[in-house]
Structure 1
Amino acid sequence: MDQRIPHSSGLQSSGAGYDSPAPLAPDLRSEDARDKPSRNDSLTAQLSTVIGGPVGDHALIGRVGFWTPMRVLFLFTVVFLALGWFSKAGCIQQTGTADGSLTLDWNNGRQYVAMCYSDTVPLYGAERLNEGAFPYKKKWVEQTPEGDRETRYMEYPVLSGLYQYAAMQVAKSWDATPLLPGALQVVIYFNVIAFGLALAWLVTVWASATLAGRRVWDAALIACSPLVIVHAFTNFDALATAFAATGLLAWARRRPVLAGVLLGLGGAAKLYPLLLLGPIVVLAMRSDPMQRTPSAHLGIRLRDVDSWDSLMLWVRETPYRTSILSSRPLGAAGLTVAAGIGTWIAVNLPILALYPTGWREFFRLNTTRHADPDSIYNVITSFTGWPGFDGNLSHAEPPTILNLVSLLVFVAACALIGYIGLTAPRRPRLAQLCFLVIAAFLLTNKVWSPQYSLWLVPLAVLALPHRRILLAWMTIDALVWVPRMFYYLGLDRKGLPEQWFTGTVIVRDVAVIALCALIVRQIYRPEEDLVRREFTDDPVAGIIDRAPDPLLPWLPAPLRPRPAPARG
């Protein structure tokens, strides 16, 4: 029964025979294509009850004036970054000494007991930044565990080293200004570093949310990741994630040169963004770069289009954008690779020319470095007593065989990922291949510093947006920090045995391998891919998005795409 509210109640007529409690908006458009997690994800639906429940059936999506999705994501990010700062705050507490001066309170292994350790704090003195020295120029002598002496320089890539130098200059300027609140220079330095890293992670969230397209709320997993609390300020890796995410965004927006520049800058901060160039090239190859003209793809000649009707039929059957762009992906990928390598060289060349020995320190240390506690090689040693490929080595003696094995295994993994990218029944999404490459690098490398896990967070969310699965992995990875800190504390101070730590590393590695397996499964079964529902191809692919996906007859038969098997 139509029980209408009388007009005398002050309600306005909607113009359709019914009354509205207020005048209707002049623009009734709704962003209905946007993913609605509160309606299609059980976990988010349960969480949404705190703020009123799932979005309504007739809600106008995308019409909020202030609390847009991006601003909500920024709010989430700031909250979790604040939690990350508080998790490190215990290591910048000051205490008095016998002579009345101030020093950091790291007594009795507090940095491990409070689990607040951050590389940025000890590096202020270890890299001689407290002396105002310029990185790569300053050198000093350290004693090795064997009692020898070695000359040392700044051990970080150029952009990370210059970032530390800039933060040191700000800290010293702050400390020299009497009107500003005072503290130990290392405390000011940490806060300056943390502020810049927080901005970098906000950029990472922004770029990733933009790349997510209609699934913008997936980026909440990046903003609210447990790994942000633990590792956002452990080291300088947020700089690299910002460049990597914006580089992929530039590629998605079809600006290949800018994409290469940003990835090259990221490679000058941490090398891993340069690895993302590989998946771009593979997918560009997959898009049939050997086609020369649209008519070659159609099997007709343009001069055969002799009337307006035949021209419209040709345009409808083969969209202009797709047919024209089909001959350009490999060229765009080449521009990106050239710009990326060129940018990396341009950033590194001045330091290399002025301070060649200091510039080489990063590469020297990575060559002579032994298996990291987090690496699979050390895990095997921990549980089996295996001495490693090179046996017992001195501090400065490089593990030559280990270096070669880890490189060859990674190259083999990349070859397998390239094979998957070329032979899958449907062209994989760029984020899927990027995640597989970075995960392979971490799993096969001799070094997996704990903060490296931040590299995987944006790529995992874009590649496999299954919220419960990702939260489970992120939680496992974040909790590895607890046994790590108590293992470093030492058994003499009631710490944990090594196997408690390496056991959790195994769980973490298995979780990452499981993510890789799920991504490979969705590559071969794209109908299970949440991103590719609702007629979406690949929002990260840029020039390759919705491009033709031919059989690549110019490739050898084993490398051509294979038709999907029929399923019942």
Structure 2
Amino acid sequence: MTEPAPDAESNPESDTESPADTRAGSVSDTATLGPEERVIPTWTEPLARSASAPVGGPLGVHAAIGRHWFWTPLRVALMIAIIGLAVSWFGKAACVQQFYNEDAKQLELDWRSNRPFTAMCYSDIIPLYSAEQLDKGGFPYKTSWFDDEGKPTQHERWMEYPVLTGLFQWVNAKLTDGWLRIAADGWLPTGLAVTVFFDISAFWLALAWLVTIWAVTRTARRRPWDAALIAASPLVLVHAFTNFDTLATACAATALLAWARKRPVLAGVLLGIGGAAKLYPLFLLGALLVLCLRAGRMRAFYSTAGAALLTWAVVNLPIALLYPRGWWEFFYRNSLRGADPDSLYNVVSQFTGWQGFDGPLAFDQTPTWLNAVSAVLFLACCAGIAFVALHAPVRPRVAQLGFLIVAAFLVTNKVWSPQYSLWLVPLAILAVPRWRILLGWMALDALVWAPRMMFYLGDDKKGLPIDWFLSFVVLRDLAVVGLCALIIYEIYHPTRDLVRLGGEDDPAGGFLDGAPDRYVLKVNRRLVEEPVA
């Protein structure tokens, strides 16, 4: 690989603006964009055009745009999101209903008749309150307990979530204690501690999703109405409060916004914080690496990657030093997990009778071969994505590669918890803003929840057989792979990319937006240096 000339990279903080930066970088609010600068969904999206019929049809050619004193695209999207999040909360609320147990003479959660599955309201947040010993008041990673106590499978446990997610749960448990103390004096409504814990957690998770929408709207620039699809996503209706994943989506989305605004250190800090909550935001560094390599903007990448890794270390190091065994639990438990029901490995196993790469495993035995195969497949996909990024005729956009990497991880990983699909939603909106296609995928992905719950109910309780559930899993995976194929097609045919069709290069590109290529992978698969325009 030929080294660039000494002046090939300028300081990231002082790079000259590209034409795209001059055009859109100074716009502080998409409400100020005129009709010639903003994409109008009712003109370009058949789905939006049809949906506008009850309110008068598509926007008129002579309509005034961006002059309403309040209803900007962002505020409309946030309003839709608040309605969607409220619906999502009501969907989970059936699992925090209470009843008075006459035998035990106390209030209890009403999980009789398998309510979490029959009402499809299951949320990890509810059982984790006691399962992670949060109701006991101990500090995560320091406090341990025994599962299956008194049984041959008895084993010691610690908090099994990454540091920030574990601390998030602990803080909410402390807020729950404070709420109940104040409620005991009659100042606040009260209920079971786990109900209060769920509601407090849901409030912060909803706020994180609103931050995600805000960041995507600001990043999309000329396409602010695309954020409405995030707000109304069927996946949010089902999974906003299934686990704690909106914390990570907020970090990843704001990191992309910071990168788009040419703030590489801030972007790295946000990625590091997100990586301390869920690992997936750190995968976006892979997209930035190959794109910065192609554009000769490696100094910006080093700033972001260094800040991300330093932030992740600063968050994790105190816990790792003080409570090393508790800190390691997340990694240890993940290494022990077998193929989850939602994984393709389990699909193949169930449909063929195959016993897996490791065969039958004893309790607490690590699936070594499964771990290795899933890691190798993911790395192979990343290598293929890097090839596409360096070989394509036009440099791909950041969101396109980000979606491909995260999707590759989910498809090849041995675990695809249903709420993980939320990771893809903001990236999908930025990568391939085709409303009908995205809505179809999100609806199908959300529908996996129904056969999943019915499968967990069990055949003896009139639940669905596993074949129904696995069939939906396969359809979900095929839909995600189809989106990846569409993105790769648009990468190689940039004139079909709706974002570039509007005259932009890469709204989330930051230093990459409008930058000339420096290194391109030619047909002979060698990296060669391109002349600087």
Distance 1:486 1:441 in 2: 27
Equivalent residue pairs, number: 495
Unmatched 5+ residue regions in structure 1?
Answer: 1-27, 290-328, 564-568
- Counterpart residue identity of residue 229, structure 1: L
Q: Deviations over 1:508-539 (max 9, x none)?
A: 00000000000000000000000001321000
Letter paired with 2:198 = F
Q: Quick check: 1:203 aligned with 2:207?
A: no
The answer to whether the aligner puts 1:46 opposite 2:46 as a matched pair is no
Once the two structures are superposed, the pairs formed by residues 308-327 of structure 1 within 5 Å of their partners are none
- Equivalent-residue separation in structure 1 for 2:257 and 2:37 (angstroms): 21
1:180 aligned partner: 188
Distance (Å, rounded) in 2 between the aligned partners of 1:395 and 1:78: 44
> 1:156 matched to which residue of 2?
161
Over 3 Å counting, the alpha-carbon distance change for 1:415 and 1:504 in structure 2 is same
Q: In structure 1, what is the equivalent of residue 128 of structure 2?
A: 123
Map 1:260-339 to 2 at 5 A. Answer: 260-287=268-295, 289=296, 329-339=297-307
| From 97, 114, 137, the counterpart of 2:142 | 137
Amino acid at match of 2:123: S
Instruction: Say yes or no: does 1:395 pair with 2:399.
Output: no
TM-score (norm 2): 0.91
Q: Which residue does the alignment assign to 2:221?
A: 213
- State the 1:557 CA deviation: 4.6
Shift of 1:440: 0.1
Aligned to 2:449: 481
Measure how far apart 1:56 and its partner are. 1.4
For the 8 Å contact 1:146–1:395, the answer to whether it is kept is no
CA distance in 2, matches of 1:433, 1:45: 29
CA contact (8 A) 2:43 2:49 kept: yes
Q: Secondary structure at the match of 2:499?
A: coil
Question: Considering only aligned residues, what root-mean-square deviation do their CA atoms show, in Å?
Answer: 1.7
Cα separation, 2, equivalents of 1:29 and 1:407: 45
1:449 partner letter:
S
Rounded Cα–Cα distance in structure 2 between residues aligned with 1:444 and 1:173: 43
Aligned to 1:141, the other structure's residue is in SS state: strand
Per the alignment, residue 69 of structure 1 pairs with 73
- Give the Cα separation in 1 of the matches to 2:120 and 2:305: 40
CA deviation map 1:198-249 (0-9, x unaligned): 0000000000111111011111111100000100000000000000000111
Aligned to 2:232: 224
Following superposition, the deviation at residue 559 of structure 1 comes to: 4.3
Match of 1:495 among 455, 460, 463: 463
**2:525 counterpart residue number:** 558
Instruction: Return the letter of the residue paired with 1:75.
Output: M
* Other structure's SS at 2:433 match: coil
Aligned to 2:514: 546
Q: Greater RCO between the two (CA within 8 Å, min separation 6)? A: 2
Cα distance change, pair 559–91 in 1 and its aligned pair in 2 (3 A): farther
5 Å-filtered alignment, 1:243-254, equals 243-254=251-262
- The verdict on how the C-alpha distance between 1:416 and 1:60 changes in structure 2, with shifts beyond 3 A counting, is same
Give the deviation of 1:180 after TM superposition. 0.7
Which whole-Å CA distance do the structure 2 matches of 1:441 and 1:468 have between them?
25
Using a 3 Å threshold, how does the CA distance of structure 1 residues 428 and 352 change in structure 2: closer, same or farther? same
**Once the two structures are superposed, what CA deviation does each residue of 1:462-510 show, in whole Å capped at 9, x if it has no partner?**
1010100000000000000000001111111111111111111000000
Indicate conservation of the 8 Å contact 1:268/1:347, yes or no: yes
- Kindly tell me: are residues 559 and 491 of structure 1, through their superposed partners in 2, closer, same or farther at Cα, counting changes over 3 Å? farther
Counterparts of 2:519 and 2:349, CA distance in 1: 46
Supply the distance in 2 between the matched residues of 1:515 and 1:561 (Cα, whole angstroms).
30
Contact 2:132-2:158 at 8 Å conserved across structures: yes
SS of the counterpart of 2:525? helix
Structure 2 residue 411 is the aligned partner of structure 1 residue 443 = yes
In the alignment, the residues of structure 1 paired with residue 281 and residue 34 of structure 2 have an alpha-carbon distance, to the nearest angstrom, of: 37
User: Which residue number in structure 1 is paired with residue 16 of structure 2?
Assistant: none
Partner of 1:23: none
Deviation at 1:345, TM superposition (A): 0.6
Output the TM-score relative to the length of structure 1: 0.85
User: 1:165 is aligned with what amino acid?
Assistant: W
Give secondary structure in 2 for the equivalent of 1:136: coil
Instruction: Give the match for residue 465 of structure 1.
Output: 433
SS of 1:112's partner is helix
**In the alignment, which of 329, 334, 353 is matched to residue 385 of structure 1?**
353
Which SS does the other structure have where 1:214 is aligned?
Answer: coil
* Cα distance in 1, alignment partners of residues 33 and 482 from structure 2: 41
Q: C-alpha distance in 2, partners of 1:68/1:523?
A: 31
**Identity of counterpart residues, as a percentage?**
55
- How far residue 32 of structure 1 moved from its aligned partner, in angstroms, is 2.5
1:423 and 2:401 correspond: no
Per the alignment, residue 28 of structure 2 pairs with: none
* Alignment partners' CA distance in 2, 1:49 and 1:476: 25
AA paired with 1:63?
Answer: R
Aligned to 2:498, the other structure's residue is in SS state coil
Q: Is the 8 A contact 1:154 1:362 kept in 2?
A: yes
CA contact (8 A) 1:284 1:333 kept: yes
Matched AA of 1:30? G
Secondary structure of 1:548's counterpart equals coil
| CA distance in 2 between partners of 1:561 and 1:226 (Å) | 45
Alignment-mate amino acid for residue 382 of structure 1: Q
Matches within 5 A, 1:37-116: 37-97=41-101, 98-116=103-121
Q: Which residue of 2 aligns with 1:358?
A: 326
Measure how far apart 1:52 and its partner are.
2.1
User: Residue 390 and residue 155 in structure 1: after superposition, are their counterparts in 2 closer, same or farther (change >3 A)?
Assistant: same
User: Aligned to 2:57, what secondary structure does the other structure show?
Assistant: coil
Range with greater deviation from structure 2 (55-64 or 264-273): 55-64
Q: Residue 440 of structure 2: SS of its match in structure 1?
A: helix
The verdict on how the C-alpha distance between 1:405 and 1:145 changes in structure 2, with shifts beyond 3 A counting, is farther
**1:511 — aligned with what?**
479
